[in-house]
Structure 1
Amino acid sequence: MNKFSIASFLELTAQKDDKHSFFELEQPELLELNLKNQTVLAKNGSMVAYVGEVKFERRGMLSGGVGNFLKKALSGEGTTMMKATGSGRLYVADYGKKVRVLYLENESINVNGNDVLAHEEAIKSDIKMLKSIAGMMSGGLFQVNLSGTGHVAITTHGHPITLLVKPGEPVYTDPNATVAWSGNLTPQLKTDVTLKSLIGRGSGESIQMKFEGTGWVLVQPYEEVYSVSS
């Protein structure tokens, strides 16, 4: 068979039918959600294809209760997730970013809101706010706390690295490169006056996230500029 024939192309790129887990990585940048009369929450606009009977519902500003309403309005994170219900295969992606699937077992993680791709309906989602006005300038003021038991899919630009946070050894990160961190950590935002005074590149470098205690933080090799979803 000619390696450039259509038959070869179809064989190389065809969907994988040998795996049918609820959350399945079809490709490093493509997540397959196998729904069997189930509901999943996915990032609004992330659907690239689906097979079967799947219905979509856009979540409104009041989803999650009145407590989250003001946070969503302030952070621009209202209506960022959609609810998909039914039976079939749903494929989701986010601008070619790498997809990472995690399974929480009565655990919690914090994720930059822009990097949450999908999660099971059983996972509780709560927008958290870093209590510092500096965060508003860096885009790191709001993040999503995901907790409970079930699958979570997050996205990163390129291959990330996980840094361990140990007592007495704080970790400092650029808010625009910080993807996620362990649920027990609460970062502080600090401003580096020296770096802030430099001319040129210095958006994330001048404003940093400081992690102290015991845990981990995930950073990507990319400084992402976040957009507000409508």
Structure 2
Amino acid sequence: MSTSPLLSRRLVLGSALAAPLILRTGAARAQEPVDVELVLAVDVSRSVDEVEQELQFNGYAAAFRDPKLLEGIAGGPLGQIAVTMFTWSDWHIQEMMVPWMKIDGPAAGERFAAAVDAAPRRTWLYTSISGAMDYAANLFGRGYEGTRKVVDISGDGVNNSGRPVADARADALEKGIVLNGLAVLDRTPTPWAAGLPPLDDYYRTEVIGGPGAFLMVAEGFDAFETAVKRKIIREIASAPPPGPLVERAFA
């Protein structure tokens, strides 16, 4: 049976109008629900030497092999989170170390830890916390949809590159992102730190923000692994209990 020209045009038009709806529905289905989307942002500026950088990477790898952390993930409403990790330094230098991964048990935790172990170790110059915030804020919604969106910023210095931290922080908070901090109090004196505010005070007042935001302070790089484990366990809690604004970890 032949189709009239008018009917043909209507069929084509109907198909064209329906296409965007189909594409949007497909895109929505691609976002897998998780309890938390967690971005790990790791400082690799010049104040972090090779030994200290290795302690940082080892700390993150050990955290995702830790049974307590994996139990915390399993205890969430969905029993799974999504995590990605990048390093940062100058305002224009951010390098993806581990792409988004779903963590839903020991095997997935080991895969993430192994990826951290295998990630390249590189050191750059300046410290752009604002650049790290901007980069992290654009990583969400890539395959996962979390009940909460959290950025975990670890570092051992104040912002000295890129736009003001206050501006980047405000933009991230406007997007509903929680900014937590992990300040590492480096016991090795550095000439460029003279006259700067205490790092823990700086992170508390200038960096962290959002509902339930908190600061973990590692008393030296040797305390980094302990600090990371405690911090991530608190971050992935499905209903984070009220806790101190500032916690401290010791080696």
Shorter-chain TM-score category? Answer: under 0.3
* TM-score (normalised: structure 1): 0.25
Higher fraction of helix: 2
